Amino acid sequence: MSKWIWYPGDFELYHDQKVHMRRKEKGVFWPCEWDLYSCSFAVTFRKEADLASDEKIRTAATAPGRVVVVDGSGRHWLKIGEEYKVPAGHVLVEATLNKQGGLCAFYLQSAKLGTDEGWQVRPNSGKFVGAASNGMYEKIEDDPEVFKFSYKLLKPAEVKEDKTGVLYDFGRETFAKLIFSKAPRAGARFNYGESLEEAKDTENCPLFETAEKNSEFPAQAFRYLFFPGLKSTDVIFEAYYEYLPHKRLGSFKSSDRLLNKIWETSAYTLELNSREFYLDGLKRDRWVWSGDAYQSCLVDRYLYFDKDIARRTMTALRGRDPVKQFMNTIVDYSMYWILMVYDHYMMTGDAEWLKSVWQSAKTEVDFIKTRKNGEGFIEGIPGDWTFIDWSDMDKTGAVCAEQILFWRVLDRMDFMAKVCGDKGVSYANEASQLASKIRKYYWRSDYCAFIDSYASGKNHITRHANIFALLFGFANKNERRCIIDHVITNSAVTPITTPYFKFFELEAMAQIGDLKYVMDNIRSYWGGMLAEGATSIWEEYKPGVPAAEQLAMYGRSYDKSLCHAWGASPVYLLGKYVLGVRPTSPGYGTFEVEPRLEGFKELNGTVPIQGGIVTIRYGCGYLSVETDRDGGVLKINGKSVMLRKNQPTEMPL
């Protein structure tokens, strides 16, 4: 079967550019503040074959160009779209395309010569490599310059009309394009709102449009649409939900209704933000941020197990050599990309894919090392952004959280070097030396904690570096106990207010085995958002803050995203530590199932794994675990039981 093909990475980089060039607020274009990589402007595709019989070909392309066929009858120059009958025998087909600001993609329809990954391709200044494709674009009528979404007609849950205008409430957060068949006049304004307050605040609402008859507007995030000064009879439109048709493989259902609702709302949040790539938030920014994407990749493993979107995202984020700046300009975000690569390998076990990105991983780490200060720590220079989290933190000089994160990167790079058979590099010694320096400069035994920064002399303590020390296995036994008692469970230490870092904190505690802490926090923090009326998970949540203030962020009234992918982590935490499904070797060659049933009368769920799925059922005192692949071990009540493919393991408890 023929497919649209392109130079590897071009499809992702082209759509990454489009994603980062569409943000608007108050009618003004809002550009991103980092470099966007370009796809190849001039590309040649090539295939040689021996045909046993004559072959009819037809071509298509997204760019101007020509096709050259060399066969037994000579050399032939063809226009794109022209049909030609290739005679039996040896044949060479080459297509050269040029397009600036677009994607050079090629399609040749033929039984034997059809375009696929067996074709070779090169930018005209490079070497031939295997062509790339995507299963979404297999028909000649497809257009790989248009990302292929699905659409579903939505109906408002409620329509309210008063003297101020007409309000359409769609019941929950959504992302939809609008098509108008009637508008009262040219320039009739309407507001998009994730909240009621945002939609009705005409002065401060950041997203609005002006409708005209037969006008169509690209998809935006909203729950509410408000038409100031209009009546419901003044306007007729349809809303179409725009989405990728991911198939949910993960599920969670228990006797705890609140947990069920938290899981479902978290899953829906990831669904909304899983589009061309993993996006940060549905309203603002709708961009690709590496830290956000890292968490989305982990959550996806327990919901969709979608390898394609993960690889698209990693390719778009990484761009091409040479590396000129940190991803999204953020020092820690380049480090998360390395961890994303490692986790994707552990998820899939795909060593060939890992080898294909290994050089990019090495050059990314080399760039990170250019920011070493005199003590050997990573420290950003002007133009670099040390983010870590939205928190009051001492970021003077080299920040401890980043050093522990980089230690983790070096450890994972050493592992991946061995998988890739790269004997020319070793990161283990570098990691060991860095660990010693971190303890020397940042550990304060009198505080029982790692401080944020040594450069300021303030000895300021936040949770972040200490969470990383627990999560990544950096802290030794004594440090671990100190951190838990004096930082994590110490209410005097400023609490985490973003779901982003709440995720890291809760996974650290889950690894330690304190599931009560994890479950209490999920119920209170995520449950607190639901109690405030959330229909998707917010970018930040501060319990006890008045409802109107919950909507503000970055000094603007409605700038907080009420649908942010980094809030979807309960799907991951409940799948990995309550249903208890975890790989113990790459690609789930071996895996464990260790359900934590305390506090549940009933617990049912499914967890996708590489090449299969695990199903857990618990109720009426019986546990049943079933998987459709070998390699699993059930751990329960201190016992280990081998799981057999397609044979349920059942036991009373």
pLDDT, mean over the chain: 96
Q: Which residues contact 613 (CB under 8 A, 6 or more apart)?
A: 249, 606, 607, 627, 628
Rounded-to-10 torsion of CA 138, 313, 293, 253? 20
Could you read off the pLDDT of 173-193 as tens digits, one per residue? Answer: 999 999 999 887 777 889 999
Could you read off the pLDDT of 127-150 as tens digits, one per residue? Answer: 999 999 999 999 999 999 999 999
Instruction: Give the chain's domains with CATH numbers.
Output: 10-130 (2.60.120.260), 150-243 (2.60.120.260), 331-386+392-495 (1.50.10.10), 581-652 (2.60.420.10)
pTM across the whole model: 0.96
Tokens 């690609």 belong to which residue? 587
Question: How far is it, in rounded angstroms, from Cα 238 to Cα 236?
Answer: 7
Question: How far is it, in rounded angstroms, from Cα 313 to Cα 546?
Answer: 36
Q: Which residues contact 269 (CB under 8 A, 6 or more apart)?
A: 536, 537, 563, 564, 565, 567, 568
Helix 351-369 / helix 400-419 crossing angle, nearest 10 deg: 140
Could you read off the pLDDT of 192-212 as tens digits, one per residue? Answer: 999 999 999 999 999 999 987
pLDDT for res 125:
87
Residue 236, classed as helix, strand or coil, is strand
Query: Looking at residues 325-343, what average pLDDT do you find?
Result: 98
Give residue 121's pLDDT band: very low, low, confident or very high (50, 70, 90): very high
